Structure 1
Amino acid sequence: MTIQLEVCIDNLESLRYAAQGGATRIELCSSLALGGLTPSMGFMHAAAKYATVPVYAMIRPRQGDFLFSSEDVEIMLADIYAAKQAKLQGVVIGVLTPHGLIDSDIVTRLVKQAQGMGVTFHRAIDQCVEPIAALDAIMAAGCERILTSGLHANAYDGIGMIKQMHQYCGNRLKIMAGAGVNSQNVREIITQTGINEIHLSGKTTRPSGMITVAKQAHMGNADIDDFEIPITGEANIAAVVAQLQA
């Protein structure tokens, strides 16, 4: 069974490491520390230029919940258009109603805007109160896959629900497991659920190349070291690939 390994990145440096580690698809984001937001247009074009595997752009205009205003939706439609203009292969979306259901009207509009591209529905499904009904709505809207942790904090704990989703959808919708996936648990997740798509970041950090370091001025949260750069760990991705090929 061929396993698809999607790696989420939020900088161009990580694109190279993800590919070298064995990624078969890229989820392109900004701000992974916030769960992933929409990448800039410049980042989309650069990724399209340098990527050797398909690239899907996250379409999420802000951090926080997945209840989006009409203004948010305007931004999302424009960002999908930008991803299409950049010649990316797909987009990643997710919209909920105030009651934790799939907002089918908005999702359908976004899928229509993405016509000709692949569409993944992201972990917003893990906040749905009726996950099986959510799957039906997502399939009806025309998405090709979901990213899920099985309604748990991580995919390993959600193995039971991920398996149930996979059995329910069959070939109608691909189920991709993500959140906390690593080389220690990936084989069991695949074996127990029967799925063939995995999502992870493989994050590590590298030190800044700055010679002069002004640590008294913080660019954001003082708890975050501005001189420690988050990147995809090529070795982390390769370790997962090794487990999948064992």
Structure 2
Amino acid sequence: MIECIVENEKDAIAAEKLGAIRLELVSAIQLGGLTPSLGIIKRTMENLQIPVQIMVRPHNYGFNYDAFDKEAMMEDINLLYDLGYYRIVVGALDQNRKIDTNFLDYIFKEFPLLNVTFHRAFDEVEDQMEAYRTLVSYRDNIKRVLTSGGAESCLAGAINLRNLVQLQHELNGPVIMPGNGMKLENIKELHNTVQADEYHFGSGVRKHLSYEEGFDKKVIEGIKHILSDR
């Protein structure tokens, strides 16, 4: 399973043609990804056949959201929900760097059909194994967790990622999806260690590792070949 980050309809169509299985739609990738505009969302969703997870993140300064942030996020989710777009990317922590379960309870009570990727707020928690166990209780809605294993890159966090994947299988919980710093040159080493079922790619599958340029067909084909041989 290869998931790619896209920022618009053009990006999304190209990624689908190159064999991405699922997409994450964001704006402002230079800020780590924020909620895209409704226009971009609608244009993208109307022209794609593969699943698209839509980022719901109001700003890039932390994952401990105040009441104003949360109401804005709920408004965004409500707009998507009304349009029949149930796949989102979201995450929130409390003041103690633990999963904000109160907010998750609120979201899933109001929007029970959501299919969620819990994003890299997970890399800011105090204890990832404890945090994962917390997320297991939300597995009806939280289907995957995007993480670099709490490190600056997936290679640096490979051992933690492997431990999380093992816990995933033990608890039958949300899929651990490594993301950050992955590219053709290191995916074989990473997968040999981590053995994840899904991987999330950003600039690593772009020409010259730049979001300003298109996808690198040879790189994506190379990654797919490596993962299909494992």
Structures share fold, TM-score greater than 0.5: yes
Aligned to 1:199: 200
Give 1:229 deviation, angstroms.
7.1
Aligned to 2:24: 27
Post-superposition CA distance 1:182-234 (Å, at most 9, x none): 111222222211211000122347xxxxxxxxxxxxxxxxxxxxxx9724414
Equivalent residues, number: 221
Runs of 4 or more above 4 Å deviation: none
Is the CA contact 1:48–1:87 (under 8 Å) kept in the aligned structure 2? Answer: no
Give 1:36 deviation, angstroms.
0.3
Does the C-alpha gap of structure 1 residues 80 and 234 become closer, same or farther in structure 2, counting only changes over 3 Å? farther
C-alpha RMSD of the superposition: 1.8
Post-superposition CA distance 1:35-77 (Å, at most 9, x none): 0001111111112111121011011011121011111111111
Question: 1:70 aligned to 51, 67, 70, which one?
Answer: 67
Is the CA contact 1:48–1:86 (under 8 Å) kept in the aligned structure 2? Answer: no
Does residue 230 (structure 1) correspond to residue 227 (structure 2)? The answer is no
Give 1:2-81 correspondences, 5 Å limit. Answer: 4-81=1-78
Is the CA contact 2:143–2:175 (under 8 Å) kept in the aligned structure 1? Answer: yes
Aligned to 2:222: 239
SS at match of 1:6: strand
Does the C-alpha gap of structure 1 residues 73 and 23 become closer, same or farther in structure 2, counting only changes over 3 Å? same
Aligned to 2:185: 184
Task: Specify every segment of 5 or more residues in structure 1 that has no aligned partner in the other structure, as ranges.
Answer: 206-227
TM (normalized to structure 2)? 0.89
Bigger RCO (CA 8 Å, 6+ sep): 1
- Give me the identity figure in percent: 27
Post-superposition CA distance 1:171-191 (Å, at most 9, x none): 222100000111112222222
Task: Specify every segment of 5 or more residues in structure 2 that has no aligned partner in the other structure, as ranges.
Answer: none
Paired with 1:175 and 1:203, the residues of 2 have a C-alpha distance of 23
Does the C-alpha gap of structure 1 residues 231 and 9 become closer, same or farther in structure 2, counting only changes over 3 Å? farther
Paired with 2:157 and 2:163, the residues of 1 have a C-alpha distance of 10
Aligned to 1:153: 152
Q: Which structure carries more helix by proportion? A: 2
Question: Aligned letter for 1:242?
Answer: H
Q: Find the structure with the greater CA-based Rg.
A: 1
